[in-house]
Amino acid sequence: MTATLFRLATAGSVDDGKSTLVGRLLHDAQAILSDQLDAVARSSKDRGFGEDGAELDLALLTDGLRAEREQGITIDVAYRYFATDRRSFVLADCPGHVQYTRNTVTGTSTADAVVLLVDVRHGVVEQTRRHLAVAHLLRVEHVIIAVNKIDAVDHREEPFRQVEADVARIAAELGADSSGVSGACAPIVIPVSALRGDNVVAPSANTPWYEGEALLPILEQLPDADHARRRTEPLRLPVQTVIRPHSEFRGYAGQIVSGSLAAGDEVLIQPGGHRTAVTAVHRTALQARAAAEQGGASLRAEAPESVVVELAGQFDVARGHLLAACEAPATERDELTLALAWLGDGALTPGARVLVKHGTQTVKGLVEEITDRLDLATLTGQPTRELVLNDIGTVTLRLAGALSVDDYATAKRTGAVLLIDPDSGDTLAAGMVRLPVFEESEDQDDDAAWLAG
């Protein structure tokens, strides 16, 4: 069983029970301190809990902000850390209101799995479709649909099956293949009652028609696919800073976001494409000891380690440059097509001036074209000339300088960008790079045949 840290996000509409589910997970996993539990018990009693058999308002465990408590909603992303005997978790409880979709994007962007809450009485609603679209856009590895409040429909199977069928249909409409909505794993649909604890930590006797596992055991067993894949992807090391304590030493510091690196490897410096060799890789004593304990990997640094690298030769390498695998370099482009989640208060229109942050590099950008906006009712792209808050669309940017990027579908970390307001510094959008698919024309086929002959 893996002992790696697992990142989990919850999302759903207001009052679908996200915070209660998170509280239930923490409570039943015995991840609550006694004084916290006492405080929640006192607050629950003041709110009148206990009369219907539910003695604790478990949502209080995550609704930590006063404004949230007063309004009974979650405004900001609330992060929680907990562990079971089998795995450690970082949990992001995302807000439910549509105007806080930006927070959902934030919480989901780094998640290994997202748990989407659906109130079984209301079924799949627009916010469910929006959150599924965001999870698909961000290519979250695992999507779990927690069909909550199953106790409110007397634990009947039919309402649950209706939600299950609707989710499968939406996954198909989003263009997911048979492997699921994210393209990685099929959505897992679970009937739960966060209030009563049905199928949260242990299977419930109230849903004998459900043959799957409860939520927590599933979370403990899901493969940490993203972290494992990062180590097998081509090397990408964005240079964060140049370290030169004296004239005899020049090192390039940064985090290996994918792949691995060792002395003797040849790398490309991008943009520019200069080829050179790694002469030394410096790691902290803690990193080296951890690698040695794993055995056989002590000389090769792997993602997500942060290292200092020395290179052969004299090259003008600075913050923002990328060290990449020679056999699979990044694509250098001064024009990008992005799938964009617009998070700004104002509308995005062609001609807008933005800053584009990619890894450790930031360049000026100009919005050339807005191609379409995702219609959440039909889950199809509709022609548009602008994007407004919470829209998801396709945008083309022209850049002041080339960025070394990958397609987001194959490399999340080097395929993602942020758009920033150049005046205020506010984050305006999260963008996923879409590189054009190369299609050979008949002329190119002829050229290839002529060259081969």
Q: Which CATH number is 192's domain given?
A: 3.40.50.300
Q: Is 31 in the same domain as 128?
A: yes
**pLDDT given for residue 404 in this prediction:** 95
Q: Is 165 in the same domain as 40?
A: yes
pLDDT in tens, 407-419: 998 888 899 999 9
pLDDT in tens, 212-227: 999 999 999 887 766 6
Q: Is 140 in the same domain as 267?
A: no
Domain that holds residue 250: 232-325
Choose among 271, 272, 265: nearest CA to 311: 265
**pLDDT given for residue 394 in this prediction:** 94
Judge whether 50 lies within some domain.
yes
**pLDDT given for residue 62 in this prediction:** 64
Judge whether 447 lies within some domain.
no
Q: Is 157 in the same domain as 186?
A: yes
Q: Is 208 in the same domain as 357?
A: no
Question: Residue 425 is which amino acid?
Answer: G
Judge whether 452 lies within some domain.
no
Q: Is 42 in the same domain as 141?
A: yes
- Residue 353 buriedness (CB in 10 A; 0-12 / 13-18 / 19+): exposed
Distance CA 332, CA 6 (A): 32
Q: Is 212 in the same domain as 303?
A: no
Name every residue whose Cβ is closer than 8 Å to that of residue 177 and which is 6 or more positions away in sequence.
Answer: 183
**Cβ(239)–Cβ(327) below 8 Å:** no
Q: Which CATH number is 316's domain given?
A: 2.40.30.10
Judge whether 182 lies within some domain.
yes
**Cβ(32)–Cβ(26) below 8 Å:** yes
Count of structural domains, the chain? 3
**Cβ(265)–Cβ(327) below 8 Å:** no
Q: Is 219 in the same domain as 83?
A: yes
**pLDDT given for residue 355 in this prediction:** 96
Judge whether 445 lies within some domain.
no
Q: Is 143 in the same domain as 262?
A: no
Q: Is 55 in the same domain as 114?
A: yes
Q: Can you give the pLDDT of all 453 residues of the chain as single tens digits?
A: 445 688 888 888 777 787 788 888 888 777 776 777 777 777 777 766 665 555 677 777 665 544 555 555 555 566 778 888 888 888 887 765 655 666 677 777 778 889 999 999 999 988 888 888 888 888 888 899 999 999 999 999 999 999 999 998 888 777 665 444 444 456 899 999 988 889 998 999 999 999 999 999 999 988 776 666 777 889 999 999 999 988 889 999 999 999 999 999 999 999 988 999 999 999 877 777 766 666 555 578 888 889 999 999 988 899 999 999 999 999 999 999 999 989 888 999 999 999 999 999 999 999 999 999 988 777 788 999 999 988 889 999 999 999 999 999 888 889 999 999 999 999 899 899 999 865 445 555 565 454 444
Distance CA 393, CA 207 (A): 40
Q: Is 17 in the same domain as 163?
A: yes
**pLDDT given for residue 102 in this prediction:** 64
Distance CA 1, CA 85 (A): 10
**pLDDT given for residue 301 in this prediction:** 87
Q: Is 187 in the same domain as 238?
A: no
Judge whether 69 lies within some domain.
yes
